[in-house]
Chains A and B, each alone.
Chain A
Amino acid sequence: MSDTTTPVSPSNSFAAFGAIFRREFAGYFRTPLAYVFLAVFNAFAISLAFFVGNLYESGIASLDRFFLYHPWLWAFLAPAAGARLWAEERRQGTLELLLTWPITVWQTALGKFLAAWAFLACALLMTLPIAFTVGWLGSPDWGVILSGYLGSLLCAGACLGIAAIASSLTRSQVIAFVTGFLACFLLVLVGYGVLDELLSGALSSGTVDEIRRLGLWRNLEPFTLGLLDARPAAYFLSVAFAGLGLSTLIVERR
C-alpha cells in the first residue's frame, strides 16, 4: 500500500455489524406491517391456545397447549419477517451498495439475521401476559415455562434460517415468503400423522423414525416439558445457522 493515499478509519467490525443490526431492527418498525405482524402473531398464539388447545378448560397451570401451535405460527410468520432480508435489498438495488461498503458479506448477513431474530423475539415476548395469567390462575412450574419460551425462540430461528435462504434466491418478497413458508410447512408436517402414514407406506420404519426427528414439533416438545436436552437445541441452531451460512454464500457468489 502506498503512502500517498489518505489515511482511513481503522477497521471496526463490531461498529459496522452494529450499524447493520440497528438499521435492520429499526427497519421492521418503519412500516405498519411490523405492527400487523405482532398483532397477528399474538392473536393467533393466544386464540389457538384457548380455543383450539382448550388451555383454560384443561384446568392445568401449564403452557404446553400454548407452545403446541408455535411451529405452525413460526412456519408462517418467520418467512413473513425474513422475506425482506435479501429480496428487498435486491429489489431496491441497495445490495450493490452493501457489497461495496467496507464490510464483509458475513458481517452484513449476521447483522441482518440477528435483527430479524430479535424482531421475532419481540413478538414472542409480547405473549408473556398469557404466562402471567396462568401464574395468576394456578401454580405453574416457571422453569418449564421459561424452557418453553427458549424452545419457541430457537424454533423461530430455525424457520428464519430457511426464510433467509428463500430470500437470498429472489428479488420478490412474495416468492421468498411462499418458498420459505412451504419449506417450513414441510418441517411442521414431519412427525404429524398424515405425513407419517404416507412415508410408512414407502420407507422402512427406521428411516421414517429418522425423518420424524427432523420435525419442528418433535424438537420443540422436550422444551415444553421442561427437558433441556442438547439435541433439539443443536437441531434448531444447526438449521438456523446452516440457513444463515447458505444464504450468505448465495449472496456472495451471486
Chain B
Amino acid sequence: MALIEAKKLFKSYGAIRAVNDVSFAVNRGEVVGFLGPNGAGKSTTMKLLTGHLRADSGQAVVAGFDVAEEPVLAKKHLGYSPEGAPAYGEMTVREFLRFAADLRGLSDPAEKVKSTLELCRLTSVAAQNIDTLSKGYRMRVGFAQAVIHDPDVLILDEPTDGLDPNQKFEVRRILKDMAARKAVIVSTHILEEVGELCTRVIVIAQGGIRCDESREKFLQRGTDLNQVFRQLTA
C-alpha cells in the first residue's frame, strides 16, 4: 500500500488555480523530490497532504487514512516541516521538542526528546532559546519536531533552503539514514539534491504535474539539469 496518495487534487485561491488535477502515490522507501518554480503549487500540494488546507476536490490519503475524514489518525503517521521551519522562538529547543512529544501523546517523551536531540545533533543547543539559534540550527529543530515520533510519512518543505553546504550535507545525511523506513516528500529548488537525496522526481508547474519519474530517468534527460528544469516548467 502506498503511504501517501494524492488523488485528483484541485485547489484554487480565488480565480487562481494553485493545484490542478494532481495525482501520485509514494511508497515506503521512496524519497520524492518535488521540483518546480516559485508559485508552481508545490507548497499548496504539501499543505493539502498534511491537512493544513482543504482541497476543493480530490482526496489526500496518509498511511491509509483520508486526511479530510480522519485528520487526527492521518496526522499521527505524519511528520511535517513547513517552509522556513517555524517554531516557538521563546522556547528552548528541549522545551519545544517536549511540547511536540506531549502533544503527540508519545510514551516516554523525555527519552524521545533525548534521542531526537542526538539524532539531529541538537544536544549542544538543547537549552538555548530557538530565537537565538542560527538558521541552520532552526531548520534542524523544524526537522526534529517532524521526526520525533518516527513517522511513516515525512513531508519537508524546502528543508535545506538557505543553509550553507555543511548544513545541507548534515540534513541530507540524517534524511538518508531514515529514508528506507519511510515515504518522504521533499520540496526543493536545488537541483543537485535530486542526485544526492531523491529516488524519484515530480516536477510541478502551474499547478500540474509535468514529470513523474525515477531519479535515473530524470538524470538521463540531460547533463544540464537547469536546462531540463526550464524546459519542463516553461
Contact = CB atoms under 8 A, between A and B. Distances in A.
Q: Are A and B bound to each other? A: yes
A34 B91 CA distance: 16
Contacts of B89: 92
A11 B106 CA distance: 10
Contacts, number: 94
A116 B50 CA distance: 28
Given A9-B76, A23-B88, A100-B52, A93 B65 contact: no
A100 B78 contact: yes
Interface string B93-120: 0000001101111110000000000000
Interface stretch (A13-21, A211-219, A226-234): A13-21
Given A23-B99, A94-B86, A97-B82, A5 B51 contact: no
A20 B51 contact: no
Interface string B122-158: 0000000000000000000000010001111000000
A59 interface: no
User: Chain A binding site: helix, strand, loop or mixed by DSSP?
Assistant: loop
Contacts of A94: 86-88
Given A9-B105, A19-B99, A97 B145 contact: yes
Contacts of B28: 4
Contacts of A93: 82, 84, 86
Nearest to A31: B90
Interface residues of A, number: 30
Nearest to B99: A23
A10 to B, nearest CB: 7
Interface residues of B, number: 39
Contacts of B105: 9-12, 15-16, 102
Contacts of B65: 1
B64 interface: yes
Contact of A100 (B3, B80, B99): B80
Given A5-B152, A100-B51, 19 more contacts: A1-B73, A2-B63, A5-B3, A5-B64, A6-B150, A9-B76, A15-B102, A16-B102, A20-B103, A23-B99, A92-B89, A96-B47, A96-B82, A97-B82, A100-B80, A101-B104, A102-B75, A102-B76, A104-B72
List the 10 shortest-distance A-B pairs measured between CB atoms, nearest first: A93-B86, A19-B102, A102-B75, A12-B105, A8-B76, A1-B64, A9-B105, A2-B1, A100-B50, A5-B63
